[in-house]
Amino acid sequence: MPVPEALLGLEKIILEKKPTALMVGPFRSEALIAGMDIIAKYKVPLLGTIAMAPGSEKKIKEEPQKYKYVFRTCLNAVHLVKFLSGTMGAINKQFGFNKVYVMTQDVAWARATADLVKKLYFDKSGWTVLGMESYPTGTSDFSSALMKARAQGAQVIMPVFDMPQSGTLVKQWNTMKVPAIMAGFISPLAGSEAWKIFDGKIGGVLNTTFELGSAMAASKLPASTNFMQKYQKKYGQEIQAGHGPAPSYESVYILKEAIERTGSLDPDAIVAGLEKTDRQGVMGRIRYDAGHQAVYGFDPAETGVSLVSQWTDSGKRIVVFPDSLAENAIQLPTGLKSAK
């Protein structure tokens, strides 16, 4: 949907439904950032759980009184960079790999994520970035880039995608037997059904779950396991989305607690209540910073947490990062040798 249509829809919801607060969307960062003026105009608190570009936080910090109604409970692109960089650091430490080919979806959050990983990690850590390619949403053939990666000797392929067709990238990587470990984020690989959907051709892939409890729990944080078990019992299936479910679930409670904290439905009072959030939930400890971004790190006792899991050749997912949640070390895909 074009951004102008999204903005019309946002304003229509506010005018017709007269909500006390908004939750989850706008979905795309482009629509969120453009929609912040509408949210400011009508003073409706928003707890976003999908859009990730850090531009919204920049606007809040520059004009806090105007844009204070916007909060983000999910991961943002900056925090995702920390987890991707941490994963790359673990791969480098364990196997000595330092040559990477980057492939992203051509949308704001994915491009920003890849650019920041390059700037803040690869360029400073002695890695060689062999190529960076972006693909329009809907692309379903990635073979040319995979051939380039193989020809240039890539040891790691870092994908950043949230479109359904991106699962084809992994199948092509498997079929072409590209001798590089694939580690990043591919949305269709987030859930347990991915093994069946992609014919078991995803063994060895490392995939990031943006928020603990979204499609993946960790045995070391029982609250995440409990959440997923309750979901399965209620709906008869497991959560399949690796981004959004956990922060959306938590946002309901965060909003409830903010209203109870202030005893008011006044939007400014709700904002004040939200700013005091300090909650232990299914994705760790949840607090908001000055840009109204939930704080993420590597220790669920102190921050919200993402996790990285690896698909085994038997179709199971094992948590491999961060160390506070890891159940096993990273394993090299069949046929790939360590550089050490």
> What 3 state SS string does the chain have?
CCHHHHHHHHHHHHHHHCCCCEEECCCCHHHHHHHHHHHHHHCCCEEECCCCCCHHHHHHHHCHHHHCCEEECCCCHHHHHHHHHHHHHHHHHHHCCCEEEEEEECCHHHHHHHHHHHHHHHCCCCCEEEEEEEECCCCCCCHHHHHHHHHCCCCEEEEEECCHHHHHHHHHHHHCCCCCEEEEEEHHHCCCCHHHHCCCCCCCCEEEECCCCCCCCCCCCHHHHHHHHHHHHHHCCCCCCCCCHHHHHHHHHHHHHHHHHHCCCCHHHHHHHHHCCCEEECCEEECECCCCEECEECCCCCCEECEEEEECCCCCEEEEECCCCCCCCCCCCCCCCCCC
pLDDT of residue 313: 86
- Residue 69 and residue 133 share a domain: no
pLDDT of residue 162: 85
Answer yes or no: is 122 within a domain.
yes
- Residue 83 and residue 67 share a domain: no
pLDDT of residue 165: 85
pLDDT of residue 260: 97
Strands 279-281, 284-286: pairing is antiparallel
- Residue 100 and residue 58 share a domain: no
Answer yes or no: is 37 within a domain.
yes
- Residue 196 and residue 107 share a domain: yes
- Residue 124 and residue 84 share a domain: yes
- Residue 180 and residue 49 share a domain: no
- Which residue range(s) make up the domain with 13? 3-74+252-297
As beta bridge partners, residue 317 has 311
Write the CATH number for 162: 3.40.50.2300
Name, in order, each residue with C-beta under 8 angstroms of 8's C-beta and a sequence gap of 6 or more.
none
3-state secondary structure of 107: coil
pLDDT in tens, 262-288: 999 999 999 999 999 999 999 999 999
**Total structural domains within the chain:** 2
Answer yes or no: is 326 within a domain.
no
pLDDT in tens, 79-114: 989 999 999 999 999 999 999 999 999 987 788 889
Q: Which of 157, 171, 186 is nearest to 308 (CA)?
A: 186
Answer yes or no: is 245 within a domain.
no
- Residue 36 and residue 85 share a domain: no
pLDDT of residue 301: 95
- Residue 98 and residue 69 share a domain: no
pLDDT of residue 320: 95
Q: Is 36 exposed, middle or buried (0-12, 13-18, 19+ CB in 10 A)?
A: buried
3-state secondary structure of 41: helix
Answer yes or no: is 228 within a domain.
no
pLDDT of residue 201: 87
- Residue 86 and residue 66 share a domain: no
- Residue 199 and residue 103 share a domain: yes
pLDDT of residue 142: 94
Whose structure tokens read 């693909």?
135
pLDDT of residue 261: 96
Answer yes or no: is 152 within a domain.
yes
Q: What is the pLDDT along the chain (340 residues), one digit of tens a residue?
A: 899 999 999 999 999 999 999 999 898 889 999 999 999 999 999 999 999 888 999 999 999 999 999 999 999 988 989 999 999 999 999 999 999 999 999 987 788 889 999 999 999 999 999 999 999 988 989 999 999 999 999 999 999 998 888 888 999 999 999 999 999 999 899 899 999 988 888 899 999 999 999 999 999 999 999 999 999 999 999 999 889 999 999 999 999 999 999 999 999 999 999 999 999 999 999 999 999 999 999 999 999 999 999 999 888 999 999 999 999 999 998 778 888 8
- Residue 159 and residue 92 share a domain: yes
- Residue 17 and residue 152 share a domain: no
Answer yes or no: is 244 within a domain.
no
Answer yes or no: is 20 within a domain.
yes
